[in-house]
Chain A
Amino acid sequence: MVTTGGPYALGGSFPRGDGGGKVGSRQVRRVDRTVLVTGAARQLSGRFVRQVRRHPAVSRVIAVDTRAPGYPLGEAEFVRADIRQPSIVSALAAHAVDTVVHLDLGPAPGPTGGRAAAKERNVLGTLQLLGACQKLPTLRRLVIGSSTQVYGHPGRGPAVLDEDAPPTAAGGGGFAQDVAEIEEYVRGFARRRPEVAVTVLRFAHLLGAGVDSPFAAYFRLPVLPTVLGYDPRLQFLHEHDALEVLGRAVAGPGDGAEEGEQGAALGPGTYNVAGEGVLLLSQAARRLGRPTVPVARPVTPWLGSALRAAGVRGVSAEQFASLAHGRVVRTARLRAALGGPLEYTTAAAFAEFAAAHGGPLSPEAVTRALDRVEEVVRRG
């Protein structure tokens, strides 16, 4: 089980609420947690806002973004604020926020804007948010939705990366470098506010039936461009599991409410979050049923920029870099903390996506065609 020695012994810190009702023989303290979630207009963040509201210990959810989300947030309160502006300080203080979940990170800044805008939002946004958090006396818990891209595109180094692997300073900018810088700031924050439990979750590529992520966009292309002579190992994370892990991280150790149906909570620290097992890109394309077109590596940055300029989503120079070298992370630490593996393996997460977005060369179609060929060969 998770150690209760974490700095967030919630039951004692917040004796507010309805005084705690007796459930069975065990006393469950009802605590009023106020959770602030950034990037509410992003898909994962929006879904998390709706889910975390149902957590028994959470009484208020404040969703923050610069633009209104395109879907109802349920009971959550929406605050239009830019985390890059100092106004975020007053938003945090006014609501006496005790838990901040920072999910406003991504390779694309939103519907519009280029690389520079994305970097500003990722890095400066986090810097400003952490600055505001530092001035917030009520803060007890900080959860960062990071990415396994922090490991860069490891052309060298071990094949399976664990949390202690040094983040390779991915030169040439890109989202990988953003994440590396952000995590550096977060480590600095954790040093300055040791009483705040900081959990960094490094998510693998998100996938699921309705997920809108760079890899989901890539796999929806009619023809998948690949890098000639490279077949990367890929790891996917089902959206359901991402939300589950975020919920466990918010619950925090020592929270009486999480003991029951919610399962073990995640303590502070850094965790790789990815489905078990790997798929090779070629294998994934076959399971999906889409043809691939290999592109020579020197051409890929140029092609990536051109396709991006043409408005094709899912391919970019950075995406091609991911398609050359795979990135596989070890998830033993998360497994130990959760007491078991995630619900979806990499293959299962991909299978669900393939069922919804499968292409013309689906395994069934290929099998039927091969059956016919075999018939012809055998019977003439």
Chain B
Amino acid sequence: MKYSYNWLTELSGTKLSPEKLRNLLMLRSFEVEGLEKTGQGLEGVVIGKILEIAKHPNADKLQLTKVDVGNAVLDIVCGAKNIEVGQKVPVAMVGAKLPNGIEIKAAEIRGEKSSGMLCAKDELGLGEDHAGIFILDKDAKIGMALAKFLELDDVILDIDILPNRAHDCLGYVGVAYEITAIENRGFDYDYSGLKLPKVKSKKLKVEVADKELCPRYIGAVMENIEVKESPQWMQAKLSASGIRPINNIVDATNFVMLELGQPMHAFDFEKVSGMKSKIPNYKSQINPKSQIQTCNIIVRRAKEGEEIKLLDDEVKKLDKDNLVIANNKEVLAIAGVMGGLNSGVNPETQTIILESASFNAVSVRKTRVGLGLKTDASDRFEKDIDPNLAEKAMVRAVEIIEHIAGGKLEGIADIYPKKVKPWKIKLDLEYANKLLGENIPFKRSIQILKSLGMDISGKDGKLTVGIPTYRVDIKTQEDLIEEIGRIFGYENIKSQPMVAPLVPAKVNKERFFERNVKNTLAGLGFDEVYNYSFYGQKDANDCALGEIKHLELANPMNPGQQLMRVSLIPNILKNVRDNLRNFKSFNIFESGRVYWPDGEILPEERKMVVMAVVLEHDKSAETFFAAKGAASDLSDKLGIKNVYFDNFDAAPSDSLLGLWHPGRSAEIKVEGMDGKIGYIGEINPLILPLFKINRRVAMVELDLEKSMEAADVELKFEAIRKYPTVLRDISILVGREITVGGIIKNIKKSGAGLVVGVELFDVFCKEEKNSFAFHIELGAIDHTLESSEIDAVMAKIISGLEKELGAEIRK
């Protein structure tokens, strides 16, 4: 909220400069987000009195004036029609530079000298009014700077009031109280002494149908009101605080709201009573006996579908959760949010009903959120207001309206069934010091609490603190400790090392493992990306994931971010698409969570790692094998032994299958472990064009937890071979259906422990057959192989290949 520095100093008596005040408030109370000087551009504009007005000899529309500006009488040519002799007007002196950019120079206008300018409001930046010269109050002092007279030489502090202090500090008095407490002084004004006069209204009857939602309702009838513009000092205060002046009645209610934080409303009495209703057959509420016109105010829940036309002309449909102010017939206002158009004050209003009430914060909040409204009133009501504040506000408002609108109080109706009284909190000052970590003298702490209006009893630091009802936020001992701490000054609390057992931190194994994965992948040339946790239905459909049940956001930013990812792949495909604009080939990876909606209450979150490989050229599945090589390196580094790549067992339950190229993908498995730890493969080439990707993309997807489980084997030393090994080459022709993996397995099986390694070194296709050539490394652990042994093993291997795989040995 915007606060006028002038008004704050008036209430608090502070001598601090605006800058110092800002810094102090920052450290003790609230963040001050801005500091803005007002009245800029009004230097050189003073108050003048019109002494003479004469016709301009050479121009019909112009007049010659003589204006007293205190130290001189100036000749000024003026075109406005609304001036009269004796009026006080703003005079821009020669040399002044007005907010609208006009620079005043001594000039000759149609042959007549003019040294200055009489100003309209718009020329002074005070509004859009250009109807005529801005006529000032009769008591305005000749020669006084206009900015000073209008109280425009102000500094506006934009203070960010925390939500837990909205109930007292969205009013000047609350902030002024803070200032006096910070400065360690008492607050001068006795707002708690404001008590309603005991005059019961004869004209107003208030009925609160829902006391839960309206703990207090005060209505006051004021008669003989003259609705007009409010005085300049009030307009200045409202404008400085960001509220547009309207008329003296509305301004008075807003003024009190600013001063005390209590929103108020004024109804036109006659409109509420129904006298002016245009609806035929409406029975007016005139008491036939006394002939006194009366008014009923009912605070109730709206009926389903009831409507109201608001002050801003908008019609809102209400429901039973909305609390309204109504008369016997219709809804007059949405309680705590906004008044209705039909019952508002207008220039003809003579009698008003002032409302100062207290509404349930949750109800106001729900109502205003539901109706999509947000007003100065709802901002305050939805944060819980002290019902006792309503009384102070009413007294102030009546007082002010009597003063500025000539009204007179007819009487009051106050419905306040459950009075809120100050409550007590026990406070141990030793605990306060133990929590703050500073030895604040008890005397100082007590002084602080007193300066905030608390009532203190007790001794030796064991206190009972009476909390004024406007401090709705203070409910516990710790709340009081915060008050002591912040007013004492957090910068006065010394930093001190903690005393704690010196024990090593428990290691988070999963994080440690993830770190290892990331390090390895970076070492293997993969760049790490972070993506959002969601994607859209279209992305899911494009990746053949559309049929999978996803966790869905109820209020996404946009449809493209509606589903919680079940796979990291869709967003990585977008990374691939985007980076292909700048790079020909790259490797990227992401480590993140996916969300499967199959948990009991919460979804199952799985940690996944996905690696993606994109190469510039791919003739014979280089992309796939680059990814496979990286996967092998990774598993090797992580200590995952016996990894193998298995064709999909295409169970229909496996819903992620459509993503992968059916002929170029595999499950990653570990011998001795059930299930898979991940997938490897090229992304299905039918999917890639949907992402505008014109390359092959190979990915590896690993389940981090399962990989960790697989890596959790103790490393054992294996003796280094002492006896030499020999190499034998073999070249075979096999059918297309025979895989290299199968051949190697077969060779190892036939070799019965003497095969140390098998390496594929040549591949070519010949009609319906594939030709493969392998180096086979043979050796024994305990002796050097004799050539007869080698021949025997080779014979076994060959016979195995021939018999079991139908291989033809090439010589």
- Are A and B subunits of one complex? no
- B-side interface residues toward A, CB under 8 Å? none
